C-alpha cells in the first residue's frame, strides 16, 4: 500500500514498513503512532474483542524511550517504535497471560517468553495481549473463555482461530503487526478469513520458550501482518536459535526480508520456479471447498503463470489421513501438557466444602477452569494414550505422520513450493459450528499437514469470494528451512494481485466505526 492511498491523519493505515520509514525519517514519532493505535483500540475493541489486555502505559513508555534514543542519534533496529500485539499464549513479565482460559485468568508470569524478549530488544511497543481459543484449541476464537472475537469484515462472523484476536487486530488496524501461534493452522487460517498475511515458520526456527504449550511437537510461533514484507520483518525479529528451547534449530535464519523485498519489486519474475498444486488439498471436485474460494485459487494460479512460474500437479497420497492423525497426536500431547494444571502449583483453585481431598480439589478446579473443547480433547488424548490403546491409536498416528513427511520430501524433489487454498471456506457465522466439532475441525484440512511435517507455510490474500464478498487465502508451503521461498513467491503474487485488482489488499475491508 502506498502513501497516497492513506489519509495523512490516519497513521494506523500505513504498513509497518512505511511506519518504520517515517519513524527513521523523523516525520512521525513512536508516541504519536502508538497513541493512534491505542485510541483505535479503545474505540473498537469493545465490539471486536480482539484484545484481552491492553498495556497502554507499557507501550507508551517504550515509545518514549525509542523517540528519545532516536533524537540522540542512536542506531536502532528497523522496527523500533512500530507497535505490535502478542497472542495471549506467550508469557509476558508483569502482564496477565491467560491462554484464553479461566484456568489462568489471574496468572502473571515472572518472566518473558523468548519471542517477547526479542520484541523488546527490537524496541517495539507491545500494545497488549490478543484473544484466542482456549489453550489454542479451536478454529474460530469462539472457545475463548472471555468471549468470541469478531471479524472486522462482518461482525457476525468469526475471525478464524485459534489466533483470531491477532488476525482481527491486524485486519481492523488496531495493530500493524501481531504474533500468532500455529499448531494446525492457527496463524494461516485466521489470515485467510480476514484478508491478512500469516506465516508459520519451519518448526524450531522460532523459540517456543515461555509459550504455553498445547502440542509441543506441532506448535510454532509466527508473524501476522497486512503485507508479506511486513511479515518478513517481524519474522526476522523473532526467529533464531535459543538455547532455552531444546527444539530450537541452531542454524542461520533464512533472509526472508531480502527475499520479500526483491520479489515485490516492479517486474518481479518467477521464471524457472516450479509450483506444485497438491491434488489432495486443492479442493478440485471437493464439495467441502466453497466455489468462490476455488475461483480465487485458480485466479492466483493464473497470476503465478503470468509471473513465469510453471504450475504442475503433485500428489501427496497420505495427506488424506492427516486430519485423523492430527486429532490423535494433538489431544495426546495436550493431555500430557495440561496435566500440570492440578490446582496445587498454579492456576485456578476451586475448593469444595466439607474438607475435600486433593483429588476433589483437582477435579473441581479442572471442571471450573477448563472449557468444553479443552475437556473434549483431554479426554480423547488420555484415551489414546491409555494402556492397551497407545499402539492402536497414538502409535499408528505417528506412523502416518512419517508418511506425510515423506510425501512432502517426494513433492519437493519435483517442485520448489506447494500451493492450495488456505481454508475451504470464507469466514462462517459465529455459532454455526460450535455444536459440531467435526465441522469445526475440517477448517484446518489444508493447513494441518505442514505442522505434522514441520515445514513452513504462509497464507496470502487471494481476493474476495463471489458469494459473500469475504476474503479467501492462498497457502504456500516450502521445504524445511527454506522459508525465504514463501516470502519470495508471496511478495511477487501480492504485488501482481494489487496491480491486477486495483490495489486489493486489506485496506479495502469495510471500515468499522462503532462507539465503545
Strand blocks (E) in 207-297: 221-225, 274-278
The vertex-149 CA angle with 177 and 440, nearest 5°, equals: 105
- Rounded to an integer, what is the distance from CA 113 to the centroid of its chain? 17
Q: How far apart are the first and last CA of the chain?
A: 29
User: Cell 524496541 identifies what position?
Assistant: 123
Give the integer Cα–Cα distance in Å for 513 and 47: 10
pLDDT of residue 173: 96
User: Cell 482481527 identifies what position?
Assistant: 168
Q: Which of 77, 199, 183, 194 is nearest to 487 (CA)?
A: 199
21-42 exposure pattern, b = at least 16 Cβ within 10 A, e = fewer: ebbeeeebbbbebbbbbbebbe
CB 223 within 8 A of CB 180: yes
DSSP state at residue 507: G
190: phi then psi, degrees, rounded to nearest 5? -60, -35
Q: Indicate the SS3 state at residue 52.
A: strand
Q: Indicate the SS3 state at residue 189.
A: helix
CB 161 within 8 A of CB 139: yes
Assign 3-class secondary structure to 421-437: ECCCCCCCECCCCCCCH
468: phi then psi, degrees, rounded to nearest 5? -135, 0
Catalytic residue positions? 87, 162, 186
pLDDT of residue 507: 43
Q: Which residues contact 49 (CB under 8 A, 6 or more apart)?
A: 131, 146, 147, 148, 149, 150, 165
Give the integer Cα–Cα distance in Å for 394 and 215: 13
pLDDT of residue 265: 79
Assign 3-class secondary structure to 470-495: CEEEEEEECCCCCHHHHHHHHHHHHH
463-484 exposure pattern, b = at least 16 Cβ within 10 A, e = fewer: bbbeebebbbbbbbbbbbbbbb
Give me 302's grid cell: 493464473
pLDDT of residue 509: 45
Give the integer Cα–Cα distance in Å for 223 and 221: 7
| Helices 483-500/228-238 angle, 10° precision | 160
pLDDT per residue as tens, the chain (516 positions): 333 344 445 999 999 999 999 999 999 999 999 999 999 999 999 999 999 999 999 999 999 999 999 999 999 999 999 999 999 999 999 999 999 999 999 999 999 999 999 999 999 999 999 999 999 999 999 999 999 999 999 999 999 999 999 999 999 999 999 999 999 999 999 999 999 999 999 999 999 999 999 999 999 999 999 999 999 999 999 999 999 999 999 999 999 999 999 998 766 889 999 999 999 988 654 558 999 999 999 999 999 999 999 999 999 999 999 999 999 999 999 999 999 999 988 889 999 988 899 999 999 999 999 999 999 999 999 999 998 899 999 999 999 999 999 999 999 999 999 999 999 999 999 999 988 988 899 999 999 999 999 999 999 999 999 999 999 999 999 999 999 999 999 999 999 887 765 444 444 444 554 332
User: Cell 488420555 identifies what position?
Assistant: 382
461-505 pLDDT, tens digit per residue, is 999 999 999 999 999 999 999 999 999 999 999 998 877 654 444
Other CB atoms within a 10 A radius of the CB of residue 441 amount to: 17
Q: Indicate the SS3 state at residue 36.
A: helix
Give the integer Cα–Cα distance in Å for 227 and 239: 18
- Whether residue 209 has a cis bond before it, omega within 30° of 0: no
Amino acid at each position: 500500500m502506498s502513501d497516497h492511498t492513506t489519509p495523512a491523519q490516519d497513521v494506523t493505515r500505513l504498513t509497518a514498513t512505511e511506519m518504520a520509514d517515517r519513524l527513521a525519517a523523523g516525520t512521525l514519532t513512536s508516541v504519536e503512532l502508538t497513541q493512534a493505535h491505542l485510541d483505535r483500540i479503545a474505540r473498537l475493541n469493545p465490539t471486536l474483542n480482539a484484545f484481552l489486555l491492553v498495556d497502554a502505559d507499557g507501550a507508551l513508555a517504550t515509545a518514549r524511550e525509542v523517540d528519545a534514543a532516536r533524537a540522540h542519534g542512536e542506531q536502532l533496529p528497523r522496527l523500533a517504535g512500530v507497535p505490535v500485539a502478542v497472542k495471549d499464549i506467550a508469557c509476558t513479565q508483569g502482564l496477565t497471560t491467560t491462554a484464553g482460559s479461566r484456568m489462568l485468568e489471574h496468572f502473571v508470569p515472572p518472566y518473558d517468553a523468548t519471542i517477547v524478549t526479542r520484541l523488546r530488544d527490537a524496541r517495539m511497543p507491545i500494545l497488549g495481549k490478543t484473544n484466542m481459543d482456549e489453550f489454542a484449541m479451536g478454529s474460530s476464537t469462539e472457545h475463548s473463555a472471555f468471549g468470541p472475537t469478531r471479524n472486522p469484515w462482518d461482525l457476525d462472523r468469526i475471525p478464524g482461530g485459534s489466533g483470531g484476536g491477532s488476525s482481527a487486530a491486524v485486519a481492523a488496524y488496531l495493530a500493524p503487526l501481531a504474533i500468532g501461534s500455529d499448531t494446525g493452522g492457527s496463524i494461516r487460517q485466521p489470515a485467510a478469513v480476514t484478508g491478512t498475511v500469516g506465516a508459520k515458520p519451519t518448526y524450531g526456527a522460532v523459540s517456543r520458550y515461555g509459550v504455553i504449550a498445547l502440542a509441543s511437537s506441532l506448535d510454532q510461533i509466527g508473524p501476522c501482518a497486512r503485507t508479506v514484507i511486513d511479515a518478513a520483518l517481524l519474522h526476522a525479529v523473532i526467529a533464531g536459535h535459543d538455547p532455552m528451547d531444546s527444539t530450537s534449530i541452531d542454524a542461520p535464519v533464512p533472509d526472508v526480508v531480502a527475499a520479500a523485498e526483491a520479489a515485490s519489486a516492479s517486474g518481479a519474475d518467477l521464471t524457472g520456479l516450479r509450483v506444485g498444486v497438491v491434488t489432495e488439498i486443492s479442493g478440485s471436485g471437493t464439495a467441502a471447498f466453497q466455489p468462490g474460494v476455488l475461483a480465487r485459487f485458480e485466479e492466483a494460479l493464473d497470476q503465478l503463470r503470468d509471473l513465469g512460474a510453471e504450475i504442475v500437479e503433485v500428489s501427496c497420497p497420505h495427506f488424506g489421513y492427516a486430519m485423523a492423525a492430527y486429532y490423535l497426536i494433538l489431544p495426546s500431547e495436550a493431555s500430557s501438557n495440561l496435566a500440570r494444571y492440578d490446582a496445587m502449583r498454579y492456576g485456578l483453585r476451586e475448593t469444595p466444602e466439607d474438607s475435600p481431598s486433593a483429588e476433589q480439589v483437582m477435579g473441581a478446579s479442572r471442571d471450573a477452569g477448563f472449557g468444553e473443547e479443552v475437556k473434549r480433547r483431554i479426554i480423547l488424548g488420555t484415551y489414546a494414550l491409555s494402556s492397551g490403546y497407545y499402539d492402536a491409536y497414538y502409535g499408528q498416528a505417528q506412523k502416518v505422520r512419517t508418511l506425510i513427511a515423506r510425501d512432502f520430501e517426494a513433492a519437493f524433489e519435483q517442485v520448489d513450493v506447494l500451493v492450495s487454498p488456505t481454508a475451504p471456506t470464507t469466514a462462517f457465522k459465529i455459532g454455526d459450528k460450535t455444536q459440531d466439532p467435526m465441522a469445526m475441525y475440517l477448517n484446518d484440512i489444508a493447513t494441518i499437514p505442514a505442522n505434522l511435517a514441520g515445514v513452513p507455510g504462509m497464507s496470502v490474500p487471494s481476493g474476495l469470494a463471489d458469494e459473500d464478498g469475504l476474503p479467501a487465502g492462498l497457502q504456500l508451503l516450502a521445504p524445511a528451512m527454506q522459508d525465504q521461498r514463501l516470502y519470495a513467491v508471496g511478495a511477487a503474487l501480492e504485488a501482481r494481485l494489487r496491480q491486477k485488482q486495483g490495489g486489493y489488499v486489506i485496506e479495502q475491508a469495510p471500515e468499522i466505526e462503532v462507539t465503545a
